Amino acid sequence: MLKNRINRRAILHGAITLTGTLTAVQLGSVKKTQANHTSSSQRKGILLAVDLQNGFLTSPECKAVVPKVVANANQFYQVWATRFFNRNPNFSRQVNWNEMVSGQETELDTTLTPVVSKTFEKPSYSPPSELIQALQSDTITTVAVCGIDTDACVMAAVLEVFDAGIETFVVSDGCASSGGQEYHESAIKLLKRNIGAQYVVSFSELPAMLAYNHDS
């Protein structure tokens, strides 16, 4: 009789322990799902199109970037753009380059007008501080960068956004270099080293979560 009571107690204790364990596992799973949902729902991504201006769209590879931006704009909360104006004296003094000062060559390709929400002017390689401030004030968590030139202004923009602590992607098939494919590929290699190879992706590989709140 005593042996049977002990066995029943052991079985009951085991059942209670198993129930508690299952409950804990279920709660943990729910919390994990909720955490993942919260993390996803809090992400807000933009596409930053760098310097897609007439004066830089000088090759088939560069020109091909523009329709890709337009076609993929709906993946993002918004599309922002930068416009370069040659106002840094070092371009003339050190590089002997005096183009992109004003006029039609500094205008964005007109097919971008329907998709670009904000435009930021800049006098040199890096984006202006106003762009970083706008990212922070608009609570943008993720920026995917594309544009011209991969080896110059695109790279400068990527590193500037990265240094601001914002999650940064490079859209490899959304970039090109007016210097040619060799410069583009070299820049992509450097960017993989500098921001992480998994953050250098094609348009088709970008996380779907970048479309968060697109219609708001």
CATH of segment(s) 43-211:
3.40.50.850
- How many secondary structure helices (H) and strands (E) does the chain include? 7, 6
d(CA 190, CA 167): 17
In the prediction, which pLDDT does 210 show?
63
d(CA 18, CA 8): 15
What are the extents of the domains in the chain?
Answer: 1-41, 43-211
For 22-48, letters b (16+ CB in 10 Å) and e give eeeeeeeeeeeeeeeeeeeeebbbbbb
Q: In which element (H, E) is residue 48 found?
A: strand 45-50
Cβ pair 128, 157 in contact under 8 A = no
Per-residue pLDDT of the chain (216 residues; tens, 9 = 90+): 444 444 545 444 444 444 454 444 343 443 333 333 334 457 799 999 999 999 999 999 999 999 999 999 998 999 999 999 999 999 999 999 999 899 999 999 999 999 999 999 999 999 999 999 999 999 999 999 999 999 999 999 999 999 999 999 999 999 999 999 999 999 999 999 999 999 999 999 987 656 544 444
Beta carbons within 8 Å of 122's beta carbon, 6+ residues apart:
82, 83, 84, 85, 128
Task: Please state the separation of Cα 204 from the chain's center in Å.
Answer: 13
Against a cut of 0.85, is the pTM above it? no
